[in-house]
Amino acid sequence: MADQPSPGPREAAAAGAVGSRAWLVSGINQTELWPDAGHGLPTELPDQFNARLLKFVD
């Protein structure tokens, strides 16, 4: 039985991003993505921070 070839870096990254996004969206309420004000920009509201975080994860 031949071993399956491992996915390339793009495939692995895409699978990881999709899995991370699904975990973030399904497992956590969006208001919980903002852990505290220290992680956002000084002028950023929680919804803006969450949108930026989810865009980064995508």
Task: Break the chain into its structural domains and give their ranges.
Answer: 29-58
Which pLDDT score, from 0 to 100, does residue 46 have?
72
Which pLDDT score, from 0 to 100, does residue 27 have?
52
Residue the block writes with tokens 């208001």? 31
pTM, two decimals, is 0.27
Which pLDDT score, from 0 to 100, does residue 50 have?
77
Which pLDDT score, from 0 to 100, does residue 1 have?
46
> Residue 35 is which amino acid?
P
Tell me the per-residue pLDDT of 1-58, one tens digit each, with 9 for 90 and over: 456 666 565 565 555 555 555 555 555 554 555 555 555 555 667 777 778 778 877 6
9's tokens: 């870096």
